[in-house]
Amino acid sequence: KRKVIIDTDPGTDDARAIIMALAQPDWEILAITLVAGNCKIKHQVDNIARLLHICERTEIPVYKGSECSLLGNHDLQTGYHGVDGFGDVFTYDVDKSMVKEENAAIAINDLVQKYPGEVTLITIGPLTNVAMAIRLNPSLGSQLKDCFMMGGNIHGRGNRTTSAEFNFACDPESAYIVLNELKTTSPITIAPLESCRISHLNWDVYERLNKIGSKKNNFTQQIDAYTAGERRKAGERMIVYDECAVAAAIDVSTVEDSFEAYVTIELTGQYTRGQCIVDYDKMLEKPPNCKVIVKMNQEKFEELIFQSLK
């Protein structure tokens, strides 16, 4: 089985992305690691425990990671996914025995060292845990099989600030460390904001999804309700972000267009801190560290979501 670690800040789109990962019969999810981002870790613990119960996958260990950015200075949460990250709809209590004591950064290294060259790392939140894991073990990247990431933006327009995408904006220093020091054997496949936006769901697709009527889909529908309502009112399509990184990891043919380049991040700048920098024209003379997704194959991508939510 393919061994997978998911580093996440669940988050409504994280939820759907994780459900997609859990639905792969040939995947063994070694761990889900939590990092502050969409909401605080204390909410994430409830979110992920509820999600694992709904999916009947409570055997998967969960590790809590960083409560804040590396520099400790970012204000978390946009409220976009509700205060609790899952649309503020659930209050029921849930068994949390899958949440372990070990810190996420340590668990990532322990698992990767247990299965050298075998682990796929999927990051769908800010990169604090992975940066910390690199500081503990500079060889982490070369010990991974591969890495898939949702983060960054390639054309300068952000969603957290005018210039920066949320996951990179939350912790630019960590994104910098991961992009420049993970040094994976194959480039990190990165789903930037722009390609995810192309893949946002039309409302007829979203409505068909919500007719599936499975426990999993009822769950995502409930946590999505607020965001979906706001998007509809604004005349926007339904968001998908983290789902794109997971889809690329599941099946490379869901990626229709991509290119390899050296990608880094702006750490200063009056407006541009956190903005992703793509060296399109090799001016920095660095080897490519990322395979950047330009566009998903929408049909295959949507089919994967449907199959996973059944």
Q: Which of 33, 38, 69, 129 binds ligand BDR (CB under 6 A)?
A: 38
Among 7, 9, 84, 224, the active-site one is 9
Rounded CA separation 145/46 (Å): 30
- Nearest residue to 12 (alpha-carbon basis) of 64, 95, 87: 87
Q: Which of 3, 7, 14, 189 binds Ca ion (CB under 5 A)?
A: 14
Q: Which of 241, 289, 290, 304 binds ligand BDR (CB under 6 A)?
A: 241
Active-site residue, 95 included:
no
- Record the tokens describing residue 158, joined without a space: 């952000």
Return phi, psi of residue 195, to 5°.
-70, -35
From residue 238 to residue 277, the character string flagging contacts with Ca ion as x (rule: CB under 5 A) and all else as - is ----x-----------------------------------
Could you say whether residue 187 binds Ca ion (CB under 5 A)?
A: no
Could you say whether residue 11 binds ligand BDR (CB under 6 A)?
A: yes
Helix, strand and coil content of the chain, in percent to the nearest 5, comes to 40, 20, 45
Could you say whether residue 166 binds ligand BDR (CB under 6 A)?
A: yes
The residue whose Cβ lies closest to ligand BDR is: 166
Strand order in the sheet with 119-123: 99-100, 62-64, 27-34, 2-8, 119-123, 146-150, 188-191, 290-296, 255-261
Separation of first and last alpha carbons in the chain: 22
Burial (CB count <10 Å: 0-12, 13-18, 19+), residue 117: exposed
Could you say whether residue 159 binds ligand BDR (CB under 6 A)?
A: yes
Q: Which of 5, 20, 119, 124 binds Ca ion (CB under 5 A)?
A: 124
Q: Which is nearer to ligand BDR, 183 or 197 (CB)?
A: 197
Q: Which of 6, 7, 14, 86 binds ligand BDR (CB under 6 A)?
A: 14
Q: Is the dihedral of CA 248, 55, 13, 235 positive or negative?
A: positive
What is the nearest approach in angstroms of Ca ion to the Cβ of residue 110? Answer: 23
Q: Which residues bind ligand BDR (CB under 6 A)?
A: 11, 13-14, 38, 80, 124-125, 150, 159, 165-167, 193, 241-242
Residues labelled catalytic: 9
